[in-house]
Amino acid sequence: MPGTRLKGLDSLRAIAALMVFVDHIESFKSMEGRPTLLTGPHGEFLGSLGVTIFFVLSGFLITWLLLEERETTGRVHVKAFFVRRILRIWPLYFLMVFFAFWVAPHIQWMHIPGYGSWEHWLPNLLFYLGMMPNVAIVLYPWIPYALVLWSVGVEEQFYAVWPFLWRGKLPAPRALALIALTVVGARLSCVVLMYTGPAATHDFFFGAAVWLYCSRVSCMAIGALGAYLYRRGEAAWMLRRRAQWLALLSFAVLAAIQWMLCNSWVEQVIQEALSVALAVLIVNMACNPRPLIGLDNRWLGAMGKISYGFYVLHSVCIAVFLSWVGAGSYWLYPLSLGFSLLVAALSYRYFERPFLRWKRAYEWV
């Protein structure tokens, strides 16, 4: 099993990034008071689903790599793991923080009505510098163009703890399931409070519910459980055709329910159920020689390799063409998408890749 080639994950990452792109471009148009292709919450649904895919995929992939490193070298090199994450994530993350806090506020055409605020910039900045943007968006006004970093912060917080779980005796699958269930229980309790209890009128409970929803550690733990079960040889049931069909239909039904109802309560409740279905599909997509759904596509795979830059930078690219052609132009979509891909490719080639070369010195598998 060591050295197993994982198929289709870059393509899935590209699809998730495109979902977020559609959400954000429709949000920009809405802020300008223009008609949208996906009105109101329908556009937000795509972005939420895309981020859920990112989280499940991250939990799966990072756990797979940790287990492969352990099987290949006999242990998990935690220091090397942190160095790899820093070299991959931090350069572009802090570049965007610098741009959002010190550059964008001084460019008039980047001020978009209804899109965040640069007020309370100092406490906001401290949270962003501390890799806690998901806390900042709960406590303070959103920072334009830095808002997208909230999910990057969540993943970094997950990575700060996760490798220690695999250093000693491997946890039983039920331990991972218990982690996921504990977070789900805490989050759903806050959801109930937010809609029916004191959270409805109390900022603390409301903030706690929003923070737990944004964190979605349970989604990453579910993805991790999928990787762990496969590498332990306990995923035979997931590879069966019947299980794949059940996962696909469950995912489609849950996504359709969220799409049709467009209700924040529904969205909060079904994230983990969506994650379970996604984990089964990802295991098959990545490892099964005959998956029900295969995404090993050359073009999507190429986009997946630059998807981090695309995800972080696309809001700025949308703003460029929003100021140029306007929110009502049919050219907004193709120009923004093409420019976002170009900027992401340039970022990967000339900014990210030098750090990735240093990263190779700390790779054990």
Contact 166, 227 (CB under 8 A): no
CA-based angle 331:337:340, to the nearest 5?
Answer: 130
Mean pLDDT of 156-185: 82
Return the pLDDT at 296: 81
Query: How many domains does the chain divide into?
Result: 1
What's residue 179's pLDDT? 73
Q: For residue range 124-144, what is the model confidence (pLDDT) as tens digits?
A: 999 999 999 988 888 888 888
Whether 201 maps to a domain, the answer reads yes
Number of H-type helices and E-type strands within the chain: 16, 0
Confidence of residue 343 (pLDDT cuts 50, 70, 90): very high
Cα 244 to Cα 130: distance, rounded to the nearest angstrom: 40
Is 311 inside any structural domain? Answer: yes
Pick 176 or 315 by higher pLDDT: 315
For residue 3, tell me if it sits in a domain.
no
pLDDT of residue 200: 56
Contact 294, 2 (CB under 8 A): no
Q: Please list, residue by residue across 119-150, b when 16 or more beta carbons sit within 10 angstroms of its beta carbon and e when fewer do.
A: eebeebbebbeebbbbbbbbebebbbbbbbbb
Round to whole Å and give the CA distance between 316 and 104: 9
Instruction: Examine the pLDDT at 187 and tell me if it is beyond 90.
Output: no
Least confident among 11-20, 115-124, 286-295: 115-124
Question: DSSP 3-state assignment of 238?
Answer: helix
Q: What pLDDT shows up at residue 13?
A: 95
Q: What is the pLDDT of residues 63-94, one digit of tens each?
A: 999 999 998 888 889 999 999 999 999 999 99
Report DSSP state, residue 145. Answer: T
Per-residue pLDDT band for 336 (boundaries 50, 70, 90) equals very high
Asked if 218 and 187 touch (Cβ cutoff 8 Å), the reply is yes
Token output for 212: 């737990």
Query: Which residue type occupies 354?
Result: P
H-only helix segments in the chain: 9-31, 41-73, 78-98, 121-129, 133-139, 150-161, 173-196, 203-215, 217-231, 236-239, 241-261, 264-287, 298-305, 307-325, 332-346, 353-359
Q: In terms of residue numbers, what domain contains 238?
A: 9-358
Q: How far apart are CA 322 and CA 331, in angstroms?
A: 10
Residue 87: the pLDDT is 95
The more confidently predicted of residues 234 and 342 is: 342
- For the chain, give the mean pLDDT: 85
Closest CA to 95 of 356, 324, 285, 312: 312
For the segment 153-168, what is each residue's pLDDT rounded down to a tens digit? 999 999 999 999 888 7
pLDDT at 199: 52
Q: What are the start-end ranges of the H helices in 74-113?
A: 78-98
Tokens standing for residue 77: 């090199």
Quote the pLDDT of residue 252: 93
Tell me the one-letter amino acid at 248.
L
Q: In angstroms, rounded to a whole number, what is the distance separating the alpha carbons of residues 4 and 10?
A: 15
Query: Among residues 267, 303, 256, 280, which one has the least CA distance to residue 57?
Result: 280
How sure is the predictor about 1, in pLDDT bands with cuts at 50, 70 and 90? low
- 1 within some domain: no
Average pLDDT over residues 252-257: 88
Q: Vertex 164, ends 77 and 222: CA angle to 5°?
A: 115
**Given a cut of 80, is residue 364 above it in pLDDT?**
no
Distance CA 280, CA 7 (A): 14
Neighbouring C-beta atoms of residue 302, cutoff 10 Å? 15
State the first-to-last Cα distance of the chain, in angstroms, to the nearest integer: 12
In the structure, what pLDDT confidence band is assigned to residue 114 with cuts at 50, 70 and 90?
low
One-letter amino acid at 92 equals: L
Least confident of 31-45, 205-219, 343-357: 31-45
Are residues 43 and 27 in contact, defined by beta-carbon separation less than 8 angstroms?
yes
CA torsion angle 221 308 40 29 (round to 10): 170
Q: Choose among 170, 182, 294, 180: nearest CA to 234.
A: 170
Tokens of 327: 């929110």
Rounded to an integer, what distance in angstroms lies between the CA atom of residue 69 and that of residue 133? 30
Query: Whole-angstrom Cα distance, residue 343 to residue 347?
Result: 6
What are residue 197's phi and psi, to 5 degrees? -120, -150
The span from the CA of 52 to the CA of 350, in Å, is 29
Amino acid at residue number 297:
N
